[in-house]
């Protein structure tokens, strides 16, 4: 029975990782797309080729960027908490069965730091995808 529980926890962690990857990749790709589109729109508007609707499109993409990146950060925080609980369960299981020396529980802090760094990257990309077009548009 213990082996089945172990396999289930490991399976949940793998699913958690796949889900986190989907959110990360989606947010990163979306940020680059928004950066490209909004920069092009801002450049046209800045050179006098813009239309009245360009600023509206710029604002819509900025709002979408904020929404998508907020959702990604919330999802990653949820994933981090889930991973911490699953790992704590594994560590407890290993301690109860006298095999905890094969798994360094300090890895839990490492996973937490990784999540914060990924979130920081997403926030930086989102900020750039918003700020760069605005700088181009209003300079």
Give the start-to-end residue ranges of the domains of the chain: 18-138
Helices (H), 49-106: 52-96
Mind listing the pLDDT tens digit for each residue in 19-39?
A: 999 999 999 999 999 999 999
For 78, the token pair is 């949820």
Q: Give the torsion sign (CA, 134, 115, 77, 8).
A: positive
Mind listing the pLDDT tens digit for each residue in 41-89?
A: 999 888 877 788 888 999 999 999 999 999 999 999 999 999 999 998 9
Give the mean pLDDT of 84-113. Answer: 85
| pTM value > 0.85 | yes
pLDDT value at residue 37: 94
For 54, the token pair is 């360009």
Mind listing the pLDDT tens digit for each residue in 111-134?
A: 889 999 999 999 999 999 999 999
Q: Are 69 and 122 in contact (CB under 8 A)?
A: yes
Question: Which has more confidence, 106 or 113?
Answer: 113
Q: Are 86 and 41 in contact (CB under 8 A)?
A: no
């Amino acid at each position: 029975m213990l082996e089945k529980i172990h396999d289930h926890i490991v399976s949940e962690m793998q699913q958690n990782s796949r889900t986190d990857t989907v959110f990360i990749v989606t947010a990163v790709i979306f940020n680059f797309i928004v950066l490209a589109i909004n920069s092009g729109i801002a450049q046209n508007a800045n050179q006098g080729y813009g239309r009245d609707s360009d600023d509206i499109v710029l604002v819509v993409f900025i709002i979408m960027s904020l929404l998508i990146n907020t959702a990604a950060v919330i999802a990653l925080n949820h994933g981090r908490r889930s991973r911490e609980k699953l790992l704590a369960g594994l560590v407890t299981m290993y301690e109860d069965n006298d095999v905890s020396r094969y798994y360094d529980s300090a890895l839990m802090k490492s996973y937490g730091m990784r999540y914060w760094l990924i979130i920081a990257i997403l926030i930086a990309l989102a900020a750039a995808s918003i700020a760069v077009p605005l700088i181009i548009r209003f300079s």
